[in-house]
Amino acid sequence: MPFYKEEEKSGRHHWIPMIPRANTMTVPSTNEAGFVADFPHPRSLSPNGGEGNPPTVPPCARGDQRGVVNSFAPTGGEGGPPGGGPGKGERFDENAKGNFTLFALIRLFLFVLWASTLSAQSTVEVCKVISKTVERQVRLPGEFLPYLSVELHAKVVGFVEKVTVDRGSLVKAGQLLVSLSAPEVVAQLAEAQSKAQAIESQRAEAQAKLAAVDSTYERLKDASATPGVVAGNELVQAEKAVDAARASLRALEDSAKAARASAASVRELESYLKIAAPFSGVITERYVHPGALVGPGGRPNPLLKLEQNSRLRLAVAVPESEVAGIVKGARLPFTVSTFPGETFYGRIARVAHSLDIKTRTMTVELDVQNPSLQLAPGMYAEVLWMVRRARPSFLVPPSSIVTTTERTFVIRVRGGHAEYVDIRRGAPVADLVEVFAALSPGDEILKRGSDEVREGSAVVIQRTGQQ
Protein backbone atom coordinates (compact mmCIF):
# COMPACT_ATOMS: atom_id res chain seq x y z
CA MET A 1 0.00 0.00 0.00
CA PRO A 2 1.36 3.49 -0.82
CA PHE A 3 1.60 6.25 1.76
CA TYR A 4 0.87 9.87 0.98
CA LYS A 5 2.44 13.18 1.83
CA GLU A 6 1.16 16.69 1.62
CA GLU A 7 2.71 19.16 -0.81
CA GLU A 8 1.81 22.82 -1.17
CA LYS A 9 1.67 24.21 -4.68
CA SER A 10 0.27 27.60 -5.66
CA GLY A 11 -1.33 28.04 -2.28
CA ARG A 12 -3.11 24.72 -2.50
CA HIS A 13 -2.41 21.45 -0.68
CA HIS A 14 -1.99 18.28 -2.70
CA TRP A 15 -1.42 14.67 -1.61
CA ILE A 16 1.06 12.52 -3.52
CA PRO A 17 1.68 8.73 -3.00
CA MET A 18 4.93 7.34 -1.52
CA ILE A 19 6.31 3.74 -1.41
CA PRO A 20 6.74 2.69 2.25
CA ARG A 21 9.74 0.68 3.44
CA ALA A 22 9.26 -3.05 3.77
CA ASN A 23 9.74 -3.15 7.56
CA THR A 24 7.00 -0.54 8.14
CA MET A 25 4.42 -1.97 5.75
CA THR A 26 0.95 -2.48 7.26
CA VAL A 27 -2.51 -2.78 5.84
CA PRO A 28 -4.53 0.08 7.36
CA SER A 29 -8.25 -0.15 7.95
CA THR A 30 -10.61 2.35 6.34
CA ASN A 31 -13.69 4.16 7.48
CA GLU A 32 -17.02 4.34 5.74
CA ALA A 33 -15.82 7.06 3.40
CA GLY A 34 -12.98 4.84 2.22
CA PHE A 35 -10.24 6.79 4.05
CA VAL A 36 -7.66 5.44 6.45
CA ALA A 37 -9.16 5.30 9.92
CA ASP A 38 -6.07 4.58 12.00
CA PHE A 39 -3.14 5.84 9.91
CA PRO A 40 -1.24 8.55 11.84
CA HIS A 41 -0.18 11.72 10.13
CA PRO A 42 3.11 13.37 11.01
CA ARG A 43 1.32 16.59 11.90
CA SER A 44 -1.03 14.73 14.25
CA LEU A 45 -4.03 16.56 12.87
CA SER A 46 -7.57 15.49 13.48
CA PRO A 47 -8.45 12.21 11.80
CA ASN A 48 -11.21 11.28 9.43
CA GLY A 49 -10.75 13.83 6.73
CA GLY A 50 -9.93 16.81 8.87
CA GLU A 51 -8.00 19.61 7.30
CA GLY A 52 -4.42 18.59 6.85
CA ASN A 53 -5.11 14.86 7.12
CA PRO A 54 -3.78 12.70 4.29
CA PRO A 55 -6.27 10.75 2.28
CA THR A 56 -6.42 6.98 2.72
CA VAL A 57 -5.70 4.40 0.09
CA PRO A 58 -7.98 5.39 -2.73
CA PRO A 59 -10.62 2.95 -3.85
CA CYS A 60 -8.61 2.39 -7.03
CA ALA A 61 -6.34 0.11 -5.03
CA ARG A 62 -9.34 -2.11 -4.58
CA GLY A 63 -10.32 -1.90 -8.21
CA ASP A 64 -12.56 1.20 -8.11
CA GLN A 65 -10.99 3.92 -10.23
CA ARG A 66 -13.97 6.22 -9.79
CA GLY A 67 -13.26 6.56 -6.10
CA VAL A 68 -10.17 8.64 -6.85
CA VAL A 69 -12.06 11.10 -8.96
CA ASN A 70 -14.97 11.31 -6.52
CA SER A 71 -12.80 11.63 -3.42
CA PHE A 72 -10.04 13.92 -4.62
CA ALA A 73 -11.33 15.73 -7.67
CA PRO A 74 -15.08 15.48 -8.06
CA THR A 75 -16.68 16.77 -11.18
CA GLY A 76 -16.64 20.49 -11.08
CA GLY A 77 -14.87 20.45 -7.72
CA GLU A 78 -11.59 21.93 -6.72
CA GLY A 79 -8.80 20.42 -8.70
CA GLY A 80 -11.17 18.67 -11.07
CA PRO A 81 -12.09 19.71 -14.54
CA PRO A 82 -15.53 20.96 -15.22
CA GLY A 83 -17.89 18.46 -16.67
CA GLY A 84 -15.97 15.45 -15.31
CA GLY A 85 -13.02 15.60 -17.72
CA PRO A 86 -9.62 14.23 -16.75
CA GLY A 87 -8.11 16.34 -14.07
CA LYS A 88 -5.65 16.12 -11.24
CA GLY A 89 -7.58 13.31 -9.60
CA GLU A 90 -7.15 11.02 -12.53
CA ARG A 91 -3.44 11.76 -12.78
CA PHE A 92 -3.16 10.94 -9.10
CA ASP A 93 -4.92 7.61 -9.74
CA GLU A 94 -2.43 6.72 -12.46
CA ASN A 95 0.55 7.47 -10.19
CA ALA A 96 -0.90 5.35 -7.40
CA LYS A 97 -1.44 2.39 -9.71
CA GLY A 98 2.13 2.62 -11.05
CA ASN A 99 3.67 2.68 -7.60
CA PHE A 100 1.54 -0.23 -6.45
CA THR A 101 2.63 -2.30 -9.46
CA LEU A 102 6.30 -1.50 -8.77
CA PHE A 103 5.96 -2.65 -5.18
CA ALA A 104 4.32 -5.90 -6.29
CA LEU A 105 7.19 -6.58 -8.70
CA ILE A 106 9.74 -6.00 -5.94
CA ARG A 107 7.97 -8.49 -3.70
CA LEU A 108 7.84 -11.03 -6.54
CA PHE A 109 11.59 -10.61 -7.19
CA LEU A 110 12.42 -11.17 -3.52
CA PHE A 111 10.26 -14.30 -3.46
CA VAL A 112 11.97 -15.75 -6.54
CA LEU A 113 15.39 -14.99 -5.04
CA TRP A 114 14.43 -16.76 -1.82
CA ALA A 115 13.08 -19.78 -3.70
CA SER A 116 16.24 -20.05 -5.82
CA THR A 117 18.37 -19.99 -2.66
CA LEU A 118 16.41 -22.91 -1.28
CA SER A 119 16.66 -24.88 -4.52
CA ALA A 120 20.46 -24.43 -4.62
CA GLN A 121 20.73 -26.70 -1.59
CA SER A 122 19.54 -30.18 -2.62
CA THR A 123 18.27 -32.51 0.06
CA VAL A 124 19.81 -35.94 -0.52
CA GLU A 125 19.73 -39.38 1.05
CA VAL A 126 23.12 -40.91 1.75
CA CYS A 127 24.61 -44.25 2.72
CA LYS A 128 28.01 -45.24 4.07
CA VAL A 129 30.78 -46.98 2.13
CA ILE A 130 31.30 -50.50 3.52
CA SER A 131 34.76 -52.08 3.77
CA LYS A 132 34.63 -55.86 3.80
CA THR A 133 36.71 -58.85 2.76
CA VAL A 134 34.91 -60.20 -0.26
CA GLU A 135 34.47 -63.94 -0.55
CA ARG A 136 32.08 -65.01 -3.20
CA GLN A 137 31.44 -67.83 -5.61
CA VAL A 138 31.59 -67.37 -9.36
CA ARG A 139 30.95 -69.89 -12.09
CA LEU A 140 33.71 -70.29 -14.66
CA PRO A 141 33.69 -72.61 -17.67
CA GLY A 142 36.40 -75.23 -18.02
CA GLU A 143 37.43 -77.93 -20.48
CA PHE A 144 38.73 -81.41 -19.73
CA LEU A 145 42.07 -82.41 -21.21
CA PRO A 146 43.85 -85.78 -21.02
CA TYR A 147 46.51 -85.87 -18.35
CA LEU A 148 48.94 -87.43 -20.88
CA SER A 149 48.54 -87.52 -24.65
CA VAL A 150 50.86 -88.77 -27.39
CA GLU A 151 50.72 -89.57 -31.09
CA LEU A 152 52.84 -92.61 -31.97
CA HIS A 153 55.04 -92.45 -35.09
CA ALA A 154 57.36 -94.95 -36.81
CA LYS A 155 61.02 -94.00 -36.51
CA VAL A 156 62.23 -96.30 -39.28
CA VAL A 157 60.86 -96.88 -42.72
CA GLY A 158 58.88 -100.08 -42.92
CA PHE A 159 55.57 -101.71 -43.67
CA VAL A 160 52.86 -102.18 -41.10
CA GLU A 161 52.82 -105.87 -40.38
CA LYS A 162 50.29 -106.00 -37.54
CA VAL A 163 48.12 -103.66 -35.44
CA THR A 164 47.08 -105.25 -32.17
CA VAL A 165 44.75 -102.47 -30.91
CA ASP A 166 42.00 -100.23 -32.17
CA ARG A 167 40.16 -97.09 -31.10
CA GLY A 168 38.92 -97.40 -27.51
CA SER A 169 41.36 -100.15 -26.53
CA LEU A 170 42.65 -99.96 -22.96
CA VAL A 171 46.37 -100.65 -22.94
CA LYS A 172 49.10 -101.06 -20.35
CA ALA A 173 52.51 -99.47 -20.39
CA GLY A 174 54.92 -101.56 -22.55
CA GLN A 175 52.15 -103.40 -24.38
CA LEU A 176 52.86 -104.14 -28.08
CA LEU A 177 50.67 -102.02 -30.33
CA VAL A 178 52.08 -102.17 -33.90
CA SER A 179 54.62 -104.45 -35.62
CA LEU A 180 56.54 -103.24 -38.66
CA SER A 181 58.48 -105.14 -41.28
CA ALA A 182 61.77 -103.72 -42.64
CA PRO A 183 64.01 -106.35 -44.40
CA GLU A 184 66.82 -103.87 -44.99
CA VAL A 185 67.07 -103.21 -41.27
CA VAL A 186 67.38 -106.94 -40.66
CA ALA A 187 70.12 -107.16 -43.29
CA GLN A 188 71.98 -104.23 -41.76
CA LEU A 189 71.83 -105.90 -38.40
CA ALA A 190 73.19 -109.18 -39.77
CA GLU A 191 76.02 -107.36 -41.52
CA ALA A 192 76.97 -105.43 -38.42
CA GLN A 193 76.93 -108.52 -36.30
CA SER A 194 79.11 -110.43 -38.80
CA LYS A 195 81.62 -107.59 -38.94
CA ALA A 196 81.80 -107.45 -35.20
CA GLN A 197 82.45 -111.18 -35.02
CA ALA A 198 85.26 -110.97 -37.60
CA ILE A 199 86.98 -108.17 -35.76
CA GLU A 200 86.61 -110.06 -32.55
CA SER A 201 88.45 -113.05 -34.14
CA GLN A 202 91.27 -110.80 -35.31
CA ARG A 203 91.55 -109.35 -31.86
CA ALA A 204 91.87 -112.83 -30.39
CA GLU A 205 94.68 -113.68 -32.84
CA ALA A 206 96.51 -110.46 -32.03
CA GLN A 207 96.22 -111.19 -28.37
CA ALA A 208 97.74 -114.67 -28.88
CA LYS A 209 100.58 -113.24 -30.97
CA LEU A 210 101.32 -110.68 -28.28
CA ALA A 211 101.53 -113.42 -25.71
CA ALA A 212 104.03 -115.36 -27.89
CA VAL A 213 106.39 -112.48 -28.60
CA ASP A 214 106.24 -111.36 -25.01
CA SER A 215 107.25 -114.87 -23.88
CA THR A 216 110.19 -114.83 -26.30
CA TYR A 217 111.31 -111.48 -25.04
CA GLU A 218 111.23 -112.61 -21.41
CA ARG A 219 113.33 -115.72 -22.23
CA LEU A 220 115.96 -113.73 -24.08
CA LYS A 221 116.04 -111.22 -21.31
CA ASP A 222 116.74 -113.91 -18.72
CA ALA A 223 119.44 -115.48 -20.92
CA SER A 224 121.16 -112.16 -21.47
CA ALA A 225 122.05 -112.13 -17.80
CA THR A 226 124.85 -114.64 -18.69
CA PRO A 227 127.49 -112.88 -20.75
CA GLY A 228 127.94 -114.19 -24.31
CA VAL A 229 124.75 -116.31 -24.40
CA VAL A 230 122.46 -113.84 -26.21
CA ALA A 231 123.54 -111.13 -28.57
CA GLY A 232 122.47 -107.65 -27.61
CA ASN A 233 120.74 -107.08 -30.98
CA GLU A 234 118.42 -110.05 -30.48
CA LEU A 235 117.10 -108.70 -27.20
CA VAL A 236 116.30 -105.33 -28.80
CA GLN A 237 114.42 -106.93 -31.70
CA ALA A 238 112.39 -109.10 -29.32
CA GLU A 239 111.38 -106.04 -27.33
CA LYS A 240 110.24 -104.20 -30.50
CA ALA A 241 108.19 -107.22 -31.55
CA VAL A 242 106.36 -107.10 -28.23
CA ASP A 243 105.57 -103.41 -28.68
CA ALA A 244 104.25 -103.98 -32.21
CA ALA A 245 102.01 -106.87 -31.11
CA ARG A 246 100.65 -104.81 -28.25
CA ALA A 247 99.79 -101.88 -30.61
CA SER A 248 98.07 -104.20 -33.06
CA LEU A 249 95.98 -105.67 -30.26
CA ARG A 250 94.88 -102.22 -29.10
CA ALA A 251 93.80 -101.28 -32.63
CA LEU A 252 91.79 -104.45 -33.02
CA GLU A 253 90.16 -103.90 -29.65
CA ASP A 254 89.05 -100.43 -30.78
CA SER A 255 87.73 -101.88 -34.03
CA ALA A 256 85.85 -104.56 -32.18
CA LYS A 257 84.30 -101.96 -29.89
CA ALA A 258 83.15 -99.91 -32.91
CA ALA A 259 81.72 -103.00 -34.57
CA ARG A 260 79.79 -103.88 -31.46
CA ALA A 261 78.40 -100.33 -31.26
CA SER A 262 77.36 -100.46 -34.90
CA ALA A 263 75.62 -103.76 -34.36
CA ALA A 264 73.88 -102.37 -31.29
CA SER A 265 72.69 -99.35 -33.28
CA VAL A 266 71.21 -101.51 -35.97
CA ARG A 267 69.70 -103.73 -33.34
CA GLU A 268 68.09 -100.61 -31.80
CA LEU A 269 66.63 -99.72 -35.18
CA GLU A 270 65.21 -103.19 -35.33
CA SER A 271 63.56 -102.61 -31.96
CA TYR A 272 61.72 -99.65 -33.51
CA LEU A 273 59.89 -102.11 -35.66
CA LYS A 274 57.96 -103.02 -32.51
CA ILE A 275 55.89 -100.04 -31.25
CA ALA A 276 54.76 -100.34 -27.62
CA ALA A 277 52.64 -98.15 -25.33
CA PRO A 278 54.73 -95.60 -23.38
CA PHE A 279 52.11 -95.41 -20.61
CA SER A 280 48.79 -96.93 -19.65
CA GLY A 281 45.78 -95.34 -21.27
CA VAL A 282 43.20 -95.50 -24.04
CA ILE A 283 43.75 -95.65 -27.79
CA THR A 284 41.64 -92.73 -29.01
CA GLU A 285 42.68 -92.73 -32.69
CA ARG A 286 43.93 -95.32 -35.21
CA TYR A 287 45.33 -94.05 -38.48
CA VAL A 288 46.95 -97.11 -40.19
CA HIS A 289 46.24 -100.64 -41.24
CA PRO A 290 48.49 -103.59 -42.16
CA GLY A 291 50.50 -103.13 -45.36
CA ALA A 292 50.88 -99.36 -45.10
CA LEU A 293 54.35 -97.94 -45.65
CA VAL A 294 55.24 -95.74 -42.71
CA GLY A 295 58.29 -93.97 -41.33
CA PRO A 296 60.33 -90.88 -42.23
CA GLY A 297 60.40 -91.77 -45.92
CA GLY A 298 56.90 -93.19 -46.04
CA ARG A 299 53.66 -92.05 -44.40
CA PRO A 300 54.47 -89.08 -42.09
CA ASN A 301 51.18 -89.23 -40.23
CA PRO A 302 50.98 -90.86 -36.79
CA LEU A 303 50.02 -94.48 -36.39
CA LEU A 304 47.97 -94.25 -33.19
CA LYS A 305 46.93 -91.70 -30.57
CA LEU A 306 47.17 -92.69 -26.92
CA GLU A 307 45.69 -90.73 -24.00
CA GLN A 308 45.73 -91.22 -20.26
CA ASN A 309 42.20 -90.55 -19.04
CA SER A 310 42.25 -92.15 -15.61
CA ARG A 311 43.39 -88.72 -14.46
CA LEU A 312 42.33 -85.56 -16.25
CA ARG A 313 43.30 -81.94 -16.43
CA LEU A 314 40.50 -79.40 -16.07
CA ALA A 315 41.67 -76.18 -17.74
CA VAL A 316 39.89 -73.03 -16.53
CA ALA A 317 40.39 -69.53 -17.97
CA VAL A 318 40.33 -67.23 -14.94
CA PRO A 319 39.58 -63.54 -15.66
CA GLU A 320 42.22 -61.01 -14.73
CA SER A 321 39.96 -59.55 -12.02
CA GLU A 322 39.79 -62.94 -10.25
CA VAL A 323 43.45 -63.96 -10.50
CA ALA A 324 44.18 -62.70 -6.99
CA GLY A 325 41.81 -65.34 -5.61
CA ILE A 326 43.79 -68.32 -6.97
CA VAL A 327 44.98 -70.59 -4.15
CA LYS A 328 47.15 -73.51 -5.29
CA GLY A 329 45.97 -76.79 -3.80
CA ALA A 330 42.43 -75.55 -3.17
CA ARG A 331 39.69 -78.14 -3.69
CA LEU A 332 36.93 -76.84 -5.96
CA PRO A 333 33.56 -78.34 -6.91
CA PHE A 334 32.33 -78.45 -10.49
CA THR A 335 29.41 -79.79 -12.46
CA VAL A 336 29.10 -81.34 -15.91
CA SER A 337 26.00 -80.96 -18.04
CA THR A 338 26.33 -84.60 -19.14
CA PHE A 339 25.66 -85.71 -15.56
CA PRO A 340 23.03 -83.33 -14.14
CA GLY A 341 22.68 -83.37 -10.39
CA GLU A 342 26.19 -84.71 -9.78
CA THR A 343 29.02 -82.69 -8.26
CA PHE A 344 32.66 -83.54 -8.85
CA TYR A 345 35.82 -82.15 -7.26
CA GLY A 346 39.31 -81.24 -8.38
CA ARG A 347 42.39 -79.55 -6.93
CA ILE A 348 44.27 -76.58 -8.33
CA ALA A 349 47.58 -78.10 -9.46
CA ARG A 350 49.10 -75.71 -12.02
CA VAL A 351 48.88 -71.96 -12.62
CA ALA A 352 50.14 -70.39 -15.86
CA HIS A 353 51.29 -67.16 -14.16
CA SER A 354 50.77 -65.39 -17.48
CA LEU A 355 47.75 -63.68 -19.04
CA ASP A 356 46.50 -64.35 -22.53
CA ILE A 357 46.78 -60.92 -24.19
CA LYS A 358 43.70 -61.60 -26.34
CA THR A 359 41.28 -62.81 -23.67
CA ARG A 360 42.91 -61.21 -20.59
CA THR A 361 42.61 -64.51 -18.74
CA MET A 362 45.03 -66.82 -16.94
CA THR A 363 44.86 -70.59 -17.47
CA VAL A 364 44.62 -72.68 -14.31
CA GLU A 365 44.60 -76.49 -14.32
CA LEU A 366 42.81 -78.72 -11.83
CA ASP A 367 43.76 -82.39 -11.40
CA VAL A 368 40.67 -84.60 -11.50
CA GLN A 369 40.78 -88.30 -10.62
CA ASN A 370 38.76 -90.34 -13.14
CA PRO A 371 39.36 -94.06 -12.46
CA SER A 372 36.02 -95.14 -13.92
CA LEU A 373 36.55 -93.05 -17.07
CA GLN A 374 33.18 -91.41 -16.41
CA LEU A 375 34.54 -88.09 -17.54
CA ALA A 376 36.25 -87.67 -20.89
CA PRO A 377 38.56 -85.17 -22.53
CA GLY A 378 36.68 -82.52 -24.48
CA MET A 379 33.78 -82.28 -22.04
CA TYR A 380 32.92 -78.88 -20.62
CA ALA A 381 32.51 -78.25 -16.91
CA GLU A 382 31.25 -75.35 -14.81
CA VAL A 383 33.62 -74.69 -11.94
CA LEU A 384 32.29 -73.05 -8.77
CA TRP A 385 35.20 -70.72 -8.21
CA MET A 386 35.65 -69.37 -4.68
CA VAL A 387 37.11 -65.87 -4.89
CA ARG A 388 38.59 -64.19 -1.84
CA ARG A 389 40.28 -60.83 -2.11
CA ALA A 390 43.68 -60.41 -0.53
CA ARG A 391 42.54 -57.07 0.95
CA PRO A 392 39.14 -55.71 2.04
CA SER A 393 37.03 -54.23 -0.73
CA PHE A 394 34.67 -51.25 -0.83
CA LEU A 395 30.99 -52.08 -1.29
CA VAL A 396 28.30 -49.61 -2.39
CA PRO A 397 24.67 -49.90 -3.58
CA PRO A 398 24.27 -50.19 -7.36
CA SER A 399 21.96 -47.16 -7.33
CA SER A 400 24.78 -44.94 -6.07
CA ILE A 401 26.92 -45.50 -9.17
CA VAL A 402 26.59 -42.92 -11.95
CA THR A 403 27.74 -43.88 -15.44
CA THR A 404 28.13 -41.34 -18.22
CA THR A 405 29.83 -41.42 -21.58
CA GLU A 406 32.96 -39.96 -20.00
CA ARG A 407 33.28 -41.52 -16.56
CA THR A 408 31.86 -43.78 -13.87
CA PHE A 409 31.68 -42.29 -10.39
CA VAL A 410 29.90 -42.01 -7.06
CA ILE A 411 29.01 -38.74 -5.33
CA ARG A 412 30.60 -38.30 -1.91
CA VAL A 413 29.29 -35.70 0.52
CA ARG A 414 32.14 -33.86 2.19
CA GLY A 415 31.78 -30.57 4.05
CA GLY A 416 28.19 -30.16 2.89
CA HIS A 417 29.17 -30.26 -0.79
CA ALA A 418 28.99 -32.90 -3.51
CA GLU A 419 32.28 -34.44 -4.65
CA TYR A 420 32.64 -36.77 -7.65
CA VAL A 421 34.86 -39.83 -7.02
CA ASP A 422 35.81 -41.94 -10.05
CA ILE A 423 35.44 -45.69 -9.54
CA ARG A 424 36.02 -48.97 -11.32
CA ARG A 425 33.34 -51.60 -10.96
CA GLY A 426 34.16 -54.95 -9.43
CA ALA A 427 31.92 -57.94 -8.98
CA PRO A 428 28.41 -57.95 -7.50
CA VAL A 429 28.25 -59.11 -3.89
CA ALA A 430 24.69 -59.87 -2.77
CA ASP A 431 22.75 -56.60 -3.21
CA LEU A 432 25.91 -54.47 -3.32
CA VAL A 433 28.65 -53.85 -5.86
CA GLU A 434 32.38 -54.04 -5.30
CA VAL A 435 34.17 -50.85 -6.39
CA PHE A 436 37.78 -49.79 -6.62
CA ALA A 437 38.24 -46.10 -5.85
CA ALA A 438 39.93 -43.53 -3.61
CA LEU A 439 37.35 -43.97 -0.87
CA SER A 440 37.54 -44.57 2.85
CA PRO A 441 35.38 -46.80 5.06
CA GLY A 442 32.41 -44.83 6.35
CA ASP A 443 32.43 -42.20 3.60
CA GLU A 444 28.94 -40.85 2.97
CA ILE A 445 27.82 -41.10 -0.65
CA LEU A 446 24.52 -40.39 -2.36
CA LYS A 447 22.31 -43.45 -2.14
CA ARG A 448 20.78 -42.57 -5.50
CA GLY A 449 23.48 -40.99 -7.58
CA SER A 450 22.63 -38.64 -10.44
CA ASP A 451 24.68 -36.31 -12.59
CA GLU A 452 21.99 -33.68 -11.97
CA VAL A 453 23.75 -33.11 -8.64
CA ARG A 454 26.60 -30.95 -9.81
CA GLU A 455 30.08 -31.37 -8.42
CA GLY A 456 30.74 -28.80 -5.73
CA SER A 457 27.07 -27.94 -5.21
CA ALA A 458 25.75 -27.58 -1.67
CA VAL A 459 23.71 -30.52 -0.39
CA VAL A 460 21.69 -31.17 2.75
CA ILE A 461 21.74 -34.73 4.10
CA GLN A 462 18.35 -36.20 4.85
CA ARG A 463 18.66 -38.05 8.14
CA THR A 464 16.30 -41.01 8.12
CA GLY A 465 17.50 -43.20 10.94
CA GLN A 466 19.64 -46.09 9.83
CA GLN A 467 21.63 -45.48 6.69
Q: How many domains does the chain have?
A: 4
Residues 332 and 405 both lie in one domain:
no
What is the structure's pLDDT at 61?
Answer: 44
Domain termination residue (choose one: 327, 360, 388): 388
SS3 410: strand
Is 284 part of any domain?
no
What are the angstrom distances between the C-alpha of 168 and each of 150, 164, 288, 290?
A: 15, 12, 15, 19
More confident residue, 91 or 462: 462
Is 291 part of any domain?
no
Residue 349 belongs to domain with CATH number:
2.40.30.170
pLDDT category of residue 121 using cuts at 50, 70 and 90: low
Residues 219 and 318 both lie in one domain:
no
What is the structure's pLDDT at 175?
Answer: 95
What is the structure's pLDDT at 28?
Answer: 46
Q: Is residue 318 over pLDDT 50?
A: yes
Closest C-alpha among 400, 378, 386, 393 to residue 436: 393
What is the structure's pLDDT at 106?
Answer: 83
Residue 453 belongs to domain with CATH number:
2.40.420.20
Domain termination residue (choose one: 276, 299, 330): 276
18 CA to centre of own chain: 75
Residues 363 and 444 both lie in one domain:
no
Give the tens place of pLDDT for each residue, 103-119: 778 877 777 665 555 45
pLDDT category of residue 55 using cuts at 50, 70 and 90: very low
Residues 435 and 353 both lie in one domain:
no
Domain termination residue (choose one: 361, 388, 415): 388
More confident residue, 18 or 231: 231
Is 330 part of any domain?
yes
| In contact, 284 and 307? CB cutoff 8 Å | yes
Residues 97 and 41 both lie in one domain:
yes
Q: Mean pLDDT for the chain?
A: 77
More confident residue, 96 or 267: 267
Is 177 part of any domain?
yes
Query: Domain span at residue 50?
Result: 3-119
Give the tens place of pLDDT for each residue, 349-387: 999 999 999 999 999 999 999 999 999 999 999 999 877
Residues 252 and 196 both lie in one domain:
yes
Is 141 part of any domain?
no
What is the structure's pLDDT at 46?
Answer: 43
What is the structure's pLDDT at 117?
Answer: 53
Is 248 part of any domain?
yes
Is 296 part of any domain?
no
What is the structure's pLDDT at 16?
Answer: 53
Tell me what percent of the residues of the chain surpass a pLDDT of 70. 70
Give the tens place of pLDDT for each residue, 196-234: 777 777 777 777 777 777 777 777 766 666 666 566 677
Residues 99 and 129 both lie in one domain:
no
pLDDT category of residue 39 using cuts at 50, 70 and 90: very low
Residues 10 and 83 both lie in one domain:
yes
Residues 317 and 253 both lie in one domain:
no
What is the structure's pLDDT at 109?
Answer: 76
Is 143 part of any domain?
no
Highest mean pLDDT pick, 18-27, 224-233, 307-316: 307-316
Residues 354 and 437 both lie in one domain:
no
Highest mean pLDDT pick, 37-46, 130-139, 292-301, 401-410: 401-410
What are the angstrom distances between the C-alpha of 355 and each of 123, 352, 365?
A: 47, 8, 14
Q: Is residue 32 over pLDDT 80?
A: no
Threshold 0.85, pTM exceeds:
no
183 CA to centre of own chain: 62
Residues 257 and 174 both lie in one domain:
yes
What is the structure's pLDDT at 443?
Answer: 92
More confident residue, 20 or 195: 195
Residues 156 and 266 both lie in one domain:
yes
Contacts of 264 (CB under 8 A, 6+ apart): none
| In contact, 274 and 152? CB cutoff 8 Å | no
| In contact, 51 and 45? CB cutoff 8 Å | yes
More confident residue, 347 or 67: 347
